[in-house]
A and B are shown apart, each in its own frame.
Chain A
Amino acid sequence: MPRDIHKIRNIGISAHIDSGKTTLTERILYYTKRIHAMHEVRGKDGVGAVMDHMELERERGITIQSAATYCEWDGHHINLIDTPGHVDFTIEVERALRVLDGAVLVLCAVAGVQSQSITVDRQMRRYNVPRVAFVNKCDRSGANPMRVAEQLREKLKHNAIMVQIPLGLEAAHEGVVDLIRMRACRFRGEHGEQLVWEEIPGPLRHEAEARREVLLDAASMHSDELTEAILEGRVTEELIWAALRRGTVAREITPVFMGSAYKNRGVQLLLDGVVRLLPDPTEVQNEAREVRGDQEITFVLSNSPADPVVAHAFKLEDGAYGQLTYLRLYQGRLVKGETLQNSRTGKKVKVGRLARMHASQMEDIIEAEAGDIVALFGIDCASGDTFTGGQRIALTSMHVPEPVVSLAVQAADAKSENNLAKALSRFTKEDPTFRVETDLETNDTLIKGMGELHLEVYLERIRREFHAQVTAGQPKVAYRESMTRAVDFDYTHKKQTGGSGQYGRVVGRLEPVEGEGFEFVNKVIGGTIPTEFISSCEKGFRAMLQRGPYVGFPVQGVRAILEDGAFHAVDSSDMAFQAAARGAFRQAYPQGRPVVLEPVMLVSVEGPSEFQGEIMGTLLQRRGIIVGTTEDEGFVRIDADVPLSDMFGYATVLRSATQGKAEFTMEFARYAPAPADVSAELEKRWAERRAAGEH
């Protein structure tokens, strides 16, 4: 059955950890008849909400892995991508955001815009995701959706426009007044499935009219037709929806819906908003790169089923049905039995079984078209791979941060060893920020990731899902090293030991450069180094980056400029020039005033104003550089740059300093010079290790 692409919505639900996202998702699935019973996240019935299908998540009451599920509403096909609420898993969030066309930003009516909402919002901005807001928990005491809308404007700089006002708040919360229809809506029935529309109660009329004015004002900015209709007094619901939609898709308006998912209020109207206001796949521009010959060109994906297939694997999952790969189709058509090619590896795979997922249940399908999200079975690939009909196409690479923490893990016995290996190979495929390495000195297996909690979750999965008994060491920070000033080099590698000799001379400069990479610039003219050996020189320099001569950590932020050199007709070789470059690096780099770099995190702590002193204290004790303070009504937010090595165990410290009333988020910011005592210690250790290695 071919579907109308304009009726597809690929959306995510993004939210702060306790704002009730999972409950909302559950309700959406219930009202769209995908499930027939409701559970709570920390349900008493032990079943748990359907989207949280991992055991660990159930236990912690948080959603870790994103799963795609679909449902239908008002003739539209909605693919829901569940995004994790915890910031340590931002790569999961970002990966989910990449395939979304729109999102629902869930906010708590009591707590409002919290520090984590700010982090999530920042990520959504990065991927240009249009949003509608849902102010949840209007039944709670202290609920104030107007204040939350105000915070959306003040803190997140959204043009937040209320399309509803609450019909009663706290215990009296019964529904909403719809400012587009200008009717009040109550939710009746055991699960709020009956919508009862009625006149707006007298006491709310005035406010409703005032808020509608604001709504019309904002919407009319995006439609001349609506502006005219307002002047002529013939405004229709359809005109308002159309104008609001234009503003929302352009990310210039964030319509605000409200209700209480838990009490079954307002979810159906939010769904109306999702299908009417958020973009369909054709309204979002996605780019890809294609390699043709030795050229790389960027083009916009067409969304047309008639074009060659381009699909993006955004999620791998190992579940009850074996290995599942979630794909977002950007172009073309996917038919069961056909062959696809993995653009990265060049390997061909057969589409054996195609399914649409509904959390952990599934539905087999025969084909899927551009715009859709589907799951494939038993396909070997890594998350982030692109599948095509044969062209070498890659979707614009996603922002993947480098891991900043490592932990040593050891298996207790041979069986565990085996299971550990399986677990690690699975995780590295699923999560690009999770890496595995072997420590060359100790032979330990090191796992690396984005934070303490990130690695902890994997350790638990190793123990539970893979039944491996492992012990883990203390988390360690991943240091880097770099140089701070330019140094010239002139190095000759020469060896004459019978037979053919080795000869190569390189002249140039090493200099610091901003950023995390290494640059190689070839300025050799007149063939003083033959062209075929230029790449040998680059290889030689690169070989030195893995372990810097200063403290043995990876080198970053260095540019090598090759300006001149000399060669010998017989004795010069690839090997000789590689050795010359290595020698030049070893000689010059230590004179460039090398420094140790440590990962620094951007930490945002938010809490009641009376704890401002305590919060600042905890950050200053951790070598934090306070960047700024934001003061708001009763709340204060402090942003600080803190070295990651000082952040281990911070959650506990903050909790006890603020009676659990403050919370924090943390994102990798950059590498910055480490203090002198850290550098001295690392330098000493590296010198000892090298001395030991020489004997």
Chain B
Amino acid sequence: MPQKELWERSPLRVFERAVGGGLGPGHVGIVLARAGVGKTAFLIGLALDALLRGRKVLHISTQESVETVRRFYDQLFKAMAEQLQIEDRAQRHLDVERNRHILVYNRKLFSLEKLEQSVGFLNQAAHFSPSLVIMDGTPRFEQTETWEMEGVARLAREWEAEVWTSSLVHREGQQCDGRGIPLAVARFDRWLAVVALLESRGDHVRVRILKDHDRPEVADLRLELDPSTLLLRWQ
């Protein structure tokens, strides 16, 4: 099967079209969800989609080990290979691994400065410059300072990469703005191009777009996460 057709079939295309053709290089997007709903899976889904299209992905974590993150990718790759009926899986898997780098920091040591250094180093030593950067759970939005968020946006522009982050939404008592974005996140509005929310609806998880670049209207998305594979699928 030609590569093009392969990713035309992906539900990720629907998501992409809904947010005006994707996040776009130099922009920062965020996915919000309650604990355990599937933020990481959603982000890795985005990453795998990019990897299968030959793009380079940097995955940053301050919580999981390299091994754990990798295992998560492997599981989702397997599910995605089934979903999209990918042929020549071993070779494809190899390509995925070749184009991905997992960067793990001791939480206490993590800083934007350090991150900038590491990415510079990767570029120099391994000629690795990512076009998609996943910052899972980093930074922590409730404690984040404005200058830090500004820093993330600046890095996205410098790297000319899409940067996806995530944040927890608490069960109760969280104040939201008119669009449904928690205030803790909304205060960084000017640096966030896309805001997506994963909502648990009984046995499945629905994906909602709360913000789409500068468009006043957001698309009503008919996508959900498959509860068994945690992959995006049509409703």
Interface residues of A (CB under 8 A from B): 122, 154-155, 157, 482, 484-485, 512, 514, 593, 595, 597, 612-613, 616-617, 620, 625-633, 637, 639, 641, 672-673
B87, A628: Cβ atoms closer than 8 Å = no
- 13 A-B pairs in the complex with CB atoms less than 8 angstroms apart: A482-B90, A484-B88, A616-B125, A616-B126, A625-B98, A626-B126, A627-B97, A631-B104, A631-B105, A633-B109, A639-B67, A639-B102, A641-B97
Tell me the bound Cα distance from A629 to B126 in angstroms.
12
7 cross-chain pairs, A with B, having the tightest CB-CB distances, nearest first? A628-B102, A628-B66, A630-B104, A632-B106, A616-B125, A484-B88, A639-B66
Contact indicator per residue, chain B 75-98, by CB within 8 Å of chain A (1) or not (0) = 000000000000111110110011
Tell me the bound Cα distance from A512 to B92 in angstroms.
14
- Please judge, given known A-B contacts A514-B89, A595-B90, A630-B66, whether A154 and B106 are in contact too, CB under 8 Å: yes
Tell me the bound Cα distance from A626 to B106 in angstroms.
19
- Please judge, given known A-B contacts A627-B70, A630-B104, whether A672 and B90 are in contact too, CB under 8 Å: yes
B109, A631: Cβ atoms closer than 8 Å = yes
B94, A612: Cβ atoms closer than 8 Å = no
Nearest chain A CB to B113's CB is how many angstroms away? 12
Query: B121 an interface residue at 8 Å Cβ cutoff?
Result: yes
A157, B91: Cβ atoms closer than 8 Å = no
B interface: dominant SS: helix
Tell me the bound Cα distance from A363 to B66 in angstroms.
48
Contact indicator per residue, chain B 52-87, by CB within 8 Å of chain A (1) or not (0) = 000000010000011101100000000000000001
Nearest chain A CB to B207's CB is how many angstroms away? 28
Query: B114 an interface residue at 8 Å Cβ cutoff?
Result: yes
Query: B103 an interface residue at 8 Å Cβ cutoff?
Result: yes
Taking CB atoms, residues of chain B closer than 8 Å to A673 are: 90-91, 94
Taking CB atoms, residues of chain A closer than 8 Å to B122 are: 629
Query: B144 an interface residue at 8 Å Cβ cutoff?
Result: no
Query: B101 an interface residue at 8 Å Cβ cutoff?
Result: yes
For B69, the closest partner residue in chain A by CB is: A628
B97, A625: Cβ atoms closer than 8 Å = yes
Taking CB atoms, residues of chain B closer than 8 Å to A482 are: 90
Taking CB atoms, residues of chain A closer than 8 Å to B66 are: 627-630, 637, 639
Taking CB atoms, residues of chain A closer than 8 Å to B101 are: 626-629
- Please judge, given known A-B contacts A484-B87, A672-B90, whether A628 and B97 are in contact too, CB under 8 Å: no
Q: How many A-B residue pairs have CB under 8 A?
A: 81
For A593, the closest partner residue in chain B by CB is: B88
Most B CB within 10 A of own CB, among A154, A595, A630: A630
Chain B residue total in the interface (Cβ 8 A) = 32
Nearest chain B CB to A625's CB is how many angstroms away? 5
Query: B118 an interface residue at 8 Å Cβ cutoff?
Result: yes
Taking CB atoms, residues of chain B closer than 8 Å to A632 are: 106, 109
Taking CB atoms, residues of chain B closer than 8 Å to A626 are: 101, 126, 128
Tell me the bound Cα distance from A593 to B89 in angstroms.
13
Beyond A627-B102, A631-B104, 6 additional contacts (C-beta under 8 Å) are A154-B107, A482-B90, A485-B88, A512-B89, A620-B126, A626-B126
Interface residues of B (CB under 8 A from A): 59, 65-67, 69-70, 87-91, 93-94, 97-98, 100-107, 109, 114, 118, 121-122, 124-126, 128
A629, B87: Cβ atoms closer than 8 Å = no
Partner of B90, one of A484, A616, A627, A631: A484
B118, A629: Cβ atoms closer than 8 Å = yes
Taking CB atoms, residues of chain B closer than 8 Å to A641 are: 97
Tell me the bound Cα distance from A485 to B89 in angstroms.
10
Tell me the bound Cα distance from A637 to B65 in angstroms.
11
- Please judge, given known A-B contacts A155-B65, A620-B126, A639-B67, whether A629 and B104 are in contact too, CB under 8 Å: yes
Tell me the bound Cα distance from A630 to B62 in angstroms.
9
B125, A613: Cβ atoms closer than 8 Å = yes
For A486, the closest partner residue in chain B by CB is: B87
For A619, the closest partner residue in chain B by CB is: B126
Partner of B104, one of A595, A612, A625, A628: A628
Nearest chain B CB to A487's CB is how many angstroms away? 13
Partner of B102, one of A155, A616, A629: A629
Taking CB atoms, residues of chain B closer than 8 Å to A612 are: 121, 125
Tell me the bound Cα distance from A613 to B69 in angstroms.
23
Taking CB atoms, residues of chain A closer than 8 Å to B107 are: 154
A631, B126: Cβ atoms closer than 8 Å = no
Taking CB atoms, residues of chain A closer than 8 Å to B102 are: 627-629, 639
Taking CB atoms, residues of chain A closer than 8 Å to B125 are: 612-613, 616-617, 620
For A638, the closest partner residue in chain B by CB is: B66
Tell me the bound Cα distance from A620 to B125 in angstroms.
9
Partner of B118, one of A514, A595, A597, A631: A631
Tell me the bound Cα distance from A484 to B109 in angstroms.
44
Most B CB within 10 A of own CB, among A122, A617, A628: A628
For B104, the closest partner residue in chain A by CB is: A630
Tell me the bound Cα distance from A246 to B232 in angstroms.
41
Taking CB atoms, residues of chain B closer than 8 Å to A616 are: 125-126
Tell me the bound Cα distance from A617 to B103 in angstroms.
17
Tell me the bound Cα distance from A446 to B90 in angstroms.
29
For A482, the closest partner residue in chain B by CB is: B90
Taking CB atoms, residues of chain B closer than 8 Å to A639 are: 66-67, 102
B91, A485: Cβ atoms closer than 8 Å = no
Tell me the bound Cα distance from A296 to B105 in angstroms.
47
Tell me the bound Cα distance from A157 to B63 in angstroms.
10
Nearest chain B CB to A121's CB is how many angstroms away? 11
Taking CB atoms, residues of chain B closer than 8 Å to A155 are: 65
Taking CB atoms, residues of chain B closer than 8 Å to A597 are: 90
Tell me the bound Cα distance from A164 to B90 in angstroms.
50
Tell me the bound Cα distance from A474 to B65 in angstroms.
36
Most A CB within 10 A of own CB, among B67, B91, B114: B67
Most B CB within 10 A of own CB, among A597, A620, A631, A672: A631
Taking CB atoms, residues of chain B closer than 8 Å to A620 are: 125-126
B121, A157: Cβ atoms closer than 8 Å = no
Taking CB atoms, residues of chain B closer than 8 Å to A484 are: 87-88, 90-91
Taking CB atoms, residues of chain A closer than 8 Å to B109 are: 631-633
Tell me the bound Cα distance from A593 to B87 in angstroms.
11
Tell me the bound Cα distance from A633 to B107 in angstroms.
11
Tell me the bound Cα distance from A485 to B86 in angstroms.
11
Tell me the bound Cα distance from A626 to B88 in angstroms.
22
Partner of B94, one of A122, A613, A672: A672
For B94, the closest partner residue in chain A by CB is: A672
- Please judge, given known A-B contacts A613-B121, A627-B66, A628-B70, whether A633 and B106 are in contact too, CB under 8 Å: yes
- Please judge, given known A-B contacts A484-B90, A514-B89, whether A629 and B103 are in contact too, CB under 8 Å: yes
A631, B97: Cβ atoms closer than 8 Å = no
Tell me the bound Cα distance from A655 to B30 in angstroms.
43
- Please judge, given known A-B contacts A485-B88, A595-B90, whether A630 and B97 are in contact too, CB under 8 Å: no
